[in-house]
Structure 1
Amino acid sequence: MAEAEGAASNVAGSPAETPAPAARRPAARRGPFRLRAPLPPGWDAVVAVGASLAILAIWEIVARLGLTTPLFFPAPSTILSAMARMISDQNLLWHAWVSTLRVWGAFLLAALMAIPIGVAMSGYRAVGAALEPAVDFIRYLPVPALVPLAIIWFGVGEETKIFLLWLGTFFQLVLLVADDMRRVPNEYFEIAYTVGANERQALKDVAFRAMLPSLVDNLRISLGWCWTYLIIAEIVAADSGLGFVIWAARRYMKTPEVMAGVVLIGLIGLATDQLLRLLHRRAFRYLRGA
């Protein structure tokens, strides 16, 4: 009996049975620089504007001190002055409007084609197997190399400009749409079929609604890509648009005017992107918790 009690006491007091101390966790960093820590309400805009003004101030100081050559890197104040002069004397805002119409026309055409094709590529493996190699091949082709072919096919009118903008957007967007469709869980389709939905209803009412938030975000990104091809599209026998203005100023080494056109493209893109972000947040408020 004594031996059994001793054995029991040894087992109870063995190191294997002694609870190990809890692992010491590193203290979480506090403040706005903690990983994924949200900023206080309204501070996003304050930080963004403050950082932008700081960059412009440093740029202005560097240019004013003569650390850069004005011909190659003018000060922000010089660029803004050139932009104001171009607005009053060279119809810069009209050129911006023409470029905006071209970009949106090509982008909407690409979106209307890419969304159904991308859904079909992901939803039906036969379609994906047939189209994906061609899409992958074409999306790696440099758009500037296709300018001569575009001129041969469409001439030097608006069709060529729209085609080049479409070409730089469609083949990237169609794969993003296919990926969005591919990420819809199969369980969604099974539940839809269980409650009596047919294939068309499962695509329209289940899959499309599930992929819509990510789809809208990818459309916003693709619109930015479309703007990046504007200069290429508007150097083809163009007499209007921001690309034409920038290219014409480049011939005479008018660097402030070149940078004014570039800055205006950036401002239009930034305003459009922020508007689409706002619409995304308003339309999909249920994603904030996620």
Structure 2
Amino acid sequence: MAEVAGRMAEAPATGEAPPTVRRRGGAGLWTFRRALPRRTETALALAGSLAVLLIWEGAARTGLTNPVFFPAPSTVLAALWRMLTQQNLLWHAGISTMRVWTAFAVAAVMAVPIGILMSSYRAFGAAVEPIIDFIRYLPVPALVPLSIIWFGVGESTKIYLLWLGTFFQLVLLVSDDMRRVPQEYFEIASTLGAKPAQALKDVAFRAMLPNLVDNLRITLGWCWTYLIIAEIVAADSGIGFVIWTARRYMKTPEVMAGVVVIGLIGLLTDQLLRALHRRAFRYL
């Protein structure tokens, strides 16, 4: 059964690669849907980022922007170094990372089986999907007072708010991934004598795994976007606390430095997960 599942999950590897992927030569960089070498993509990404920073620095230096509200990148970098060396910014970043990953892990452990069941058994999906859709559209900041009433002002509230902003989005993505598994896979598995539980574990889950991992990567980014909301609830640690404290005193460089740290953590995590995805699913 496992061999059949493996062949079915890796079926795209036997197909012929699309012409847009195979053609690497020819016209210039701006050919429509042309694949680029990895080094070229990296160079373009660095060049684009550097151009934005230079334009930003030039606008700040020439007085086009008010440094109180929009300081230059060099000023933000100096503030970042000061916060790293004098204000324990790395410790705060570690606390925030732990909170995000804890909430995300809880959300993923709950969302994956629920999402699979929603698509596998339509009676279950019909019962719970309206509830999930309803809660999914509620703004998380509006639920902060209720969160404090329910959980107090400790770590539980922060984890809950991060979970709240992630779980209801992720469970629907998992359900869609399961729904996209071709019905033929289940029919073949049934023909070979697989029971529904075996078909789910050995066929459907393996077929949906590449998209599932990609959606987990995306929703991890969403979880980070709720960090500030979670860490203004009677917090005394975390990047959100650092940003919110600096905001009170109009320390814009410190605020932007905190935002930059969140962006850098997110960027590094995203690139790492992308690399793991490419390595794990080479056949795609």
TM-score normalised by L of structure 2: 0.90
Distance in 2, matches of 1:64 and 1:224, equals: 33
In structure 1, the partner of 2:39 is 42
In structure 2, the partner of 1:243 is 240
Distance in 2, matches of 1:104 and 1:116, equals: 19
Distance in 2, matches of 1:257 and 1:133, equals: 42
In structure 2, the partner of 1:66 is 63
Distance in 1, matches of 2:55 and 2:89, equals: 27
In structure 2, the partner of 1:184 is 181
Task: Specify the SS of the correspondent of 2:232.
Answer: coil
Of structures 1 and 2, the one with the larger relative CO (CA 8 A, separation 6+) is 2
Distance in 2, matches of 1:71 and 1:44, equals: 35
Match of 2:145 among 148, 152, 168: 148
Distance in 2, matches of 1:210 and 1:139, equals: 27
Name which of structure 1's ranges 162-171 and 49-58 shifts more when overlaid on structure 2: 49-58
**Aligned-partner residue type, residue 204 of structure 2:** A
In structure 2, the partner of 1:55 is 52
In structure 2, the partner of 1:15 is none
Task: Specify the SS of the correspondent of 1:285.
Answer: coil
Q: Does 1:87 align with 2:84?
A: yes
**Aligned-partner residue type, residue 56 of structure 1:** L
In structure 1, the partner of 2:15 is none
Q: Once the 2 structures are TM-superposed, how far is the Cα of residue 42 of structure 1 from its aligned partner?
A: 1.2
Identity of aligned residues (%): 75
**Aligned-partner residue type, residue 120 of structure 1:** L
In structure 2, the partner of 1:13 is none
TM-score normalised by L of structure 1: 0.89
Distance in 1, matches of 2:157 and 2:38, equals: 46
Match of 2:157 among 142, 155, 160: 160
Name which of structure 1's ranges 37-46 and 116-125 shifts more when overlaid on structure 2: 37-46
Distance in 2, matches of 1:30 and 1:138, equals: 49
Q: Does 1:172 align with 2:169?
A: yes
Distance in 1, matches of 2:203 and 2:125, equals: 20
In structure 2, the partner of 1:275 is 272
Q: Once the 2 structures are TM-superposed, how far is the Cα of residue 262 of structure 1 from its aligned partner?
A: 0.3
In structure 2, the partner of 1:134 is 131
Q: Once the 2 structures are TM-superposed, how far is the Cα of residue 65 of structure 1 from its aligned partner?
A: 0.5
Match of 1:121 among 118, 128, 136: 118
Distance in 1, matches of 2:78 and 2:181, equals: 51
| Structure of higher CA gyration radius | 1
Distance in 1, matches of 2:278 and 2:93, equals: 28
Q: Once the 2 structures are TM-superposed, how far is the Cα of residue 30 of structure 1 from its aligned partner?
A: 2.3
In structure 2, the partner of 1:201 is 198
Unaligned runs of 5+ in 1: 1-28
Deviation track 1:145-193 (CA, whole Å, cap 9, x = no partner) reads: 0000000000000000000000000000000000000000000000001
**Aligned-partner residue type, residue 229 of structure 1:** Y
Deviation track 1:113-169 (CA, whole Å, cap 9, x = no partner) reads: 000000000000011000000000000000000000000000000000000000000
How many residue pairs are counted as aligned between the two chains?
259
Deviation track 1:221-259 (CA, whole Å, cap 9, x = no partner) reads: 000000000000000000000000000000000000000
Moved over 4 A (4+): none
Distance in 2, matches of 1:65 and 1:258, equals: 22
Q: Once the 2 structures are TM-superposed, how far is the Cα of residue 106 of structure 1 from its aligned partner?
A: 0.1
Task: Specify the SS of the correspondent of 1:159.
Answer: helix
Distance in 1, matches of 2:156 and 2:119, equals: 30
**Aligned-partner residue type, residue 256 of structure 2:** M
Distance in 1, matches of 2:228 and 2:174, equals: 26
In structure 2, the partner of 1:12 is none
Distance in 2, matches of 1:146 and 1:106, equals: 16
Match of 2:225 among 201, 225, 228: 228
